[in-house]
Amino acid sequence: MSSNRIATLTIDGITTEFPMVDGNIGPSVIDIRALYAKTGAFTFDPGFMSTASCKSSITYIDGDKGELLYRGYPIEQLAEHCDFMEVCYLLKKGELPNAAQKGAWVKSIKEQTMVHEQITRFMQGFRRDSHPMAVLVGLVGALSAFYHDSLDINDPEHRLLAATRLIGKMPTIVAMSYKYSMGEPQMYPRNSLDYSSNFMHMMFGTPCENYEPNPVLARALDRILILHADHEQNASTSTVRLAGSSGANPFACIAAGIACLWGPAHGGANEACLKMLEEIGDVSRVPEFIKRAKDKSDPFKLMGFGHRVYKNFDPRAKLMRVTCHEVLNELGLNNDPLFKLALELERIALEDEYFIEKKLYPNVDFYSGIVQKALGIPTQLFTGIFAMARTIGWIAQWHEMIGDPDQKIGRPRQLYTGSMRRDVPSMDQRK
């Protein structure tokens, strides 16, 4: 970790030294924790363009190579050889499970799939047309009111119980929000099914008929979950860490992460991307939308394009595109007009000077909307699926933070641009 290299900073002729710290891979960091004490200045880095907010051993991204590793394993290998439960175990515990460990882990999650019956009544307070993300923020936050016996963040058993509860209950809550919006009865989990098949059962089953999840489609959903499971210090994960840094309970922290994920620049992009494709409607209108995306006076952006870290390609988008083919093939939708439109939009954008120069490539959300739509998931629920997948990443990162001896409450500083000190005028002197 530590390095022999030193960074020097000269302000007004006075030079100060700061240690440099090396990670196992990736850029080194300059440890500036003593900067203010030594120089009286802060750094200014809105959006954390050059700031590492923590150290972490969970996920590594090389944005130039287009590489994503969970605990060192490439995402491509995990997507091919593992299921979502194994990936959850890996992210949480650091190693892939053997058969016995996997069995015990899956059992511990399945024991948590039901939610307190009163949560159903709590949900009935929402309007039927509520956005599912509004319901998720509320219901997940409310879990802390229902499960008092797992709120002590200093007790490892409480932390583990809260983690398995969140992973086990998220699919149930996401499916409940859908059933509620449809006016259909909630389906109880079926623990004989695997994680993704059970979710499909809770989404698409009804008490009137026996529902058998299609294994090809369940596997596609499982892959969506794997690809979205973690992505190092993105906005929602940083939100979870920041909320957790004050000692808040894990349910409250994950609810904060869900709120952040909702935004269209982050997890809301999959919903926004599908809406955009529907709005474009036809290949002939692609140039018009590309033109708008490049126009600085138009706030329109090409949804599903661009990424803060990936500047070559997003490896998740590549895998998602393959999954898209598989799902459409299974459903006999090879000529799906939306998929054709997406392929054409991708082709034209990738040849365009603006997108080349700014290194804008399709991200994971570009194809995930088409896959989810084909699976029968309504557009409004796309970000909820992302939240279900990312829950394990948030938990693993939150857990890592709690055990980090360097952890402190998150408290950024600012560059003040307001009024100088002034006295309150009397009412008759105010303009």
**Binding residues for ligand CMC (CB under 6 A):** 231, 234, 265-267, 269, 293, 301-308, 358, 360, 363-365
- Of 231 and 373, the one with the shorter C-beta distance to ligand CMC is 231
Q: In what order do the strands lie in the sheet with 73-74?
A: 59-62, 67-70, 73-74
- Of 5 and 358, the one with the shorter C-beta distance to ligand CMC is 358
| Active-site residue, selected from the candidate residues 222, 307, 314, 352 | 307
Is 365 tagged catalytic?
yes
Taking the complex as a whole, the smallest distance from the CB of residue 262 to ligand CMC amounts, in Å, to 11
d(CA 86, CA 77): 12
Question: In DSSP terms, which residues pair with 70 in a beta bridge?
Answer: 59, 73
Nearest to 171 by CA among 85, 74, 99: 85
d(CA 376, CA 75): 26
- Of 158 and 301, the one with the shorter C-beta distance to ligand CMC is 301
C-alpha triplet 403, 408, 409: angle, nearest 5°: 115
d(CA 334, CA 321): 13
d(CA 241, CA 232): 11
Taking the complex as a whole, the smallest distance from the CB of residue 258 to ligand CMC amounts, in Å, to 13
- Of 346 and 365, the one with the shorter C-beta distance to ligand CMC is 365
- Of 232 and 400, the one with the shorter C-beta distance to ligand CMC is 232
Taking the complex as a whole, the smallest distance from the CB of residue 78 to ligand CMC amounts, in Å, to 18
Residue nearest to ligand CMC according to CB distances in the complex: 306
Is 148 tagged catalytic?
no
- Of 189 and 267, the one with the shorter C-beta distance to ligand CMC is 267
- Of 110 and 241, the one with the shorter C-beta distance to ligand CMC is 241
Q: Are 306 and 363 in contact (CB under 8 A)?
A: yes
Active site residues: 307, 365
